[in-house]
Amino acid sequence: MNQPSASRSPFQAGFFDIAPILVGVFPFGLIAGIAAVEVGLDSIQAYAASLILFAGAAQLAMIDLIGRDAAPIVIVATALVINARMAMYSAALAPAFRELSPLRKAYGSYVITDQSFAVSIVRFDRVDETLPQRFSYYMGASLGLWVTWQISSLAGVIIGSGVPEEWSLDFAIPLVFMALLFPAIKDRASTIAAVAAATSAVAFVSLPLNLGLLAASGLGLVAGVVWSRE
CB of 128 to another protein, least distance (A): 20
Give the H/E segment covering residue 13. helix 10-38
For another protein, the closer CB: 4 or 102: 102
212 binds another protein (CB under 8 A): yes
What span, in angstroms and rounded, lies between the C-alpha atoms of 224 and 198?
12
CB of 3 to another protein, least distance (A): 28
Judging by beta carbons within 10 Å of its beta carbon (0-12, 13-18, 19+), is residue 87 exposed, middle or buried? exposed
| Interface segment toward another protein; rule CB under 8 A; list 87-95, 119-127, 131-139, 152-160 | 87-95
**Which one of residues 155, 163, 209, 221 is an interface residue with another protein (CB under 8 A)?**
221
159 binds another protein (CB under 8 A): no
205 binds another protein (CB under 8 A): yes
From residue 46, alpha-carbon distances to 79, 163, 199 in Å are 16, 15, 32
> Which residues are within 8 A (CB) of 150 and not within 5 positions of it... i.e. 6 or more apart?
29, 50, 51
Q: Which of residues 90-109 bind another protein (CB under 8 A)?
A: 90-91, 93-95, 97-98, 105-106, 108-109
48 binds another protein (CB under 8 A): yes
**Which one of residues 15, 89, 135, 137 is an interface residue with another protein (CB under 8 A)?**
89
What span, in angstroms and rounded, lies between the C-alpha atoms of 220 and 47?
32
64 binds another protein (CB under 8 A): yes
Q: Which of residues 113-152 bind another protein (CB under 8 A)?
A: none
What span, in angstroms and rounded, lies between the C-alpha atoms of 32 and 61?
10
Q: Could you tell me how many residues of this chain bind another protein (CB under 8 A)?
A: 94
CB of 16 to another protein, least distance (A): 21
- Amino acid at site 62: M
- Amino acid at site 64: D
178 binds another protein (CB under 8 A): yes
For residues 29 and 148, is the Cβ–Cβ distance under 8 A?
yes
For residues 33 and 155, is the Cβ–Cβ distance under 8 A?
yes
CB of 7 to another protein, least distance (A): 31
| Interface segment toward another protein; rule CB under 8 A; list 11-19, 23-31, 121-129, 152-160 | 23-31
For another protein, the closer CB: 143 or 194: 194
What span, in angstroms and rounded, lies between the C-alpha atoms of 168 and 203?
25
For residues 214 and 78, is the Cβ–Cβ distance under 8 A?
yes
